[in-house]
Amino acid sequence: NAGVTQTPKFQVLKTGQSMTLQCAQDMNHNSMYWYRQDPGMGLRLIYYSASEGTTDKGEVPNGYNVSRLNKREFSLRLESAAPSQTSVYFCASSVQEEVYGYTFGSGTRLTVV
Amino acid sequence: RKEVEQDPGPFNVPEGATVAFNCTYSNSASQSFFWYRQDCRKEPKLLMSVYSSGNEDGRFTAQLNRASQYISLLIRDSKLSDSATYLCVGPVTGGGNKLTFGTGTQLKVEL
């Protein structure tokens, strides 16, 4: 019963490098989300996907792109990493947000040097 | 103004104490809220849902006060293992099904 699986768990990048954070859920959820969490800032929404085939920007989308590959998978790409993107990234999914809330993955700790 | 706001704490309480957190929200039409628990360096995990009728689960009680637009979380007989950050969560105004998170209230339960 995996739930939401994120890879990798840790990553160090150099400024300007690119990488993709992977997220997969096995709960048949329609909605998937990417958040970043920084000290004192709380969780901020980067991008979300209400259903397979759709994606929309959240409050902090600059510097990121996403792909909803299928119903299970939602990836987050950093095309040219910057130190300001050092953060903890969480993927989440939901079947009915107002009733069940979100289920989160265990997070990816990203450091950009 | 943030849609949900919390006192960041920390709340330092002795083991066995009763502690309560409040969270204010800005959208009077909001109807469902959640409390999440987040341990250090871990993901947030759902603790309780909060509806108009409130919710109780063992030592934890969550309530919704519509008149004053706040939700509360009461923890009775605090345990060392309750030490964590508690996140208040509500709907995004005009945001479809999206949820918004408070910045969290830190609880430290001490011997």
Cα–Cα distance, A35 to A111 (Å, whole number): 16
Residue A60 or residue A42, greater confidence:
A60
Supply the DSSP string of chain B, one letter for each residue: --SEEE----EEEETT--EEEEEEES-TT---EEEEEE-TTS-EEEEEEE-TT-EEETTEEEEEETTTTEEEEEE-S--GGG-EEEEEEEEPTT-TT-EEE---EEEEEE-
Residue B111 has pLDDT above 90, yes or no: yes
* Closest-CA residue of chain A to B9: A40
Q: What is the pLDDT of residue A108?
A: 98
The shortest C-alpha distance from B59 to chain A (Å) reads 21
Q: What is the pLDDT of residue A17?
A: 98
Option in A50, A90, A101 nearest B96 (CB): A50
Report pLDDT digits (tens) over B35-64.
999 999 999 999 999 988 889 999 999 999
Q: What is the pLDDT of residue A78?
A: 97
Mutate to test the interface with A, among B27, B85, B98, B106 (most CBs of A within 10 A): B98
Report pLDDT digits (tens) over B92-103.
988 788 999 999
User: For chains A and B, what is the number of CB pairs under 8 angstroms?
Assistant: 51
What residues of chain A have any CB closer than 8 angstroms to a CB in chain B? 31, 33, 40-43, 45, 48, 50, 58, 90, 94, 96-107
**Tokens representing residue B4 in the block:** 């949900």
Residue A52 has pLDDT above 80, yes or no: yes
The share of chain B scoring above pLDDT 90, in percent, equals 80
Contact A50, B97 (CB under 8 A): yes
Q: What is the pLDDT of residue A1?
A: 67
Question: What are residue A54's phi and psi, to 5 degrees?
Answer: -125, 140
Q: What is the pLDDT of residue B15?
A: 98
Mutate to test the interface with B, among A7, A33, A43 (most CBs of B within 10 A): A43
Report pLDDT digits (tens) over B65-97.
999 999 999 999 999 999 999 999 999 988 788
Residue A98 has pLDDT above 90, yes or no: no
Q: Taking CB atoms and an 8 Å limit, are B97 and A96 in contact across chains?
A: yes
Q: What is the pLDDT of residue A44?
A: 96
Instruction: Give residues with Cβ within 8 angstroms of A59, minimum separation 6.
Output: A44, A45
Before B8, cis peptide (omega within 30)? no
Residue B29 has pLDDT above 90, yes or no: no
Q: What is the pLDDT of residue B94?
A: 83
Q: Taking CB atoms and an 8 Å limit, are B99 and A101 in contact across chains?
A: yes
Mean pLDDT confidence for A55-72: 96
Option in A42, A45, A105 nearest B102 (CB): A42
Q: What is the pLDDT of residue B52?
A: 81
Residue A109 or residue A40, greater confidence:
A109
Q: Which residues of B are less than 8 Å from A96 in CB distance?
A: 97
Q: Which residues of B are less than 8 Å from A87 in CB distance?
A: none
